[in-house]
Amino acid sequence: MEIRINFAENKKIEAILGDFVIKSDQPQTNDGDNSAPSPYDYFLASTAMCAGYFVKAYCDSRKISVEGIKLLQINSSDIDNKYKQIIEFKIEFPEGFSEKDKDGILRSINGCSVKKAIQQIPEFKVTAV
């Protein structure tokens, strides 16, 4: 996948992915305008959205409604290393939801592609062309 970057005014950055444009900014504390999430916020949100996709896919494949399911991601970092993230998913199920499906959903989240990519520790290469 190729992602192109456009530099907009002030600290705003746009990522172009095919027909989609993802806009980011920095908070005012980083001299931005706080008009969009920061790139780091998108990174953290991508894990929650991926987990949400797997919850939805599990339910859809079994014709189970997602109504009443609440998925929350809580991010915290190590006191000595702010980049060492602890990413915790908490799922609240509606009354009457079967234990079998609760367990299936919890297992399905482990299939999250973003989670798997992070766990493999990506290699970064930076080159001038």
Q: Is 82's pLDDT higher than 90?
A: no
Give yes or no: residues 72 and 105 share one domain. Answer: yes
Parent domain of 11: 1-36
The pLDDT, as a whole number, for residue 100 is 98
Calculate mean pLDDT across residues 106-114.
95
Q: What angle do CA 75, 109, 117 make, to 5 degrees?
A: 70
Note every long-range contact of 86-92, with CB atoms under 8 Å and residues 24 or more positions apart, other chains counting: 87/44, 87/47, 87/115, 89/48, 89/51, 91/55
pLDDT digits (tens, 9 = 90+) for 31-69: 999 999 999 999 999 999 999 999 999 999 999 999 999
Residue type, 51: A
Give yes or no: residues 29 and 53 share one domain. Answer: no
Give yes or no: residues 43 and 79 share one domain. Answer: yes
- pTM for this entry: 0.87
pLDDT digits (tens, 9 = 90+) for 2-34: 999 999 999 999 999 999 999 999 999 999 999
Q: Which residues contact 15 (CB under 8 A, 6 or more apart)?
A: 3, 4, 5, 21, 22, 24
Give yes or no: residues 48 and 4 share one domain. Answer: no
Give the count of domains, the chain. Answer: 2
Give yes or no: residues 27 and 59 share one domain. Answer: no
59 φ, ψ (degrees, to nearest 5):
-65, -45
Give yes or no: residues 84 and 54 share one domain. Answer: yes
- Which CATH number characterizes residue 115's domain? 3.30.300.20
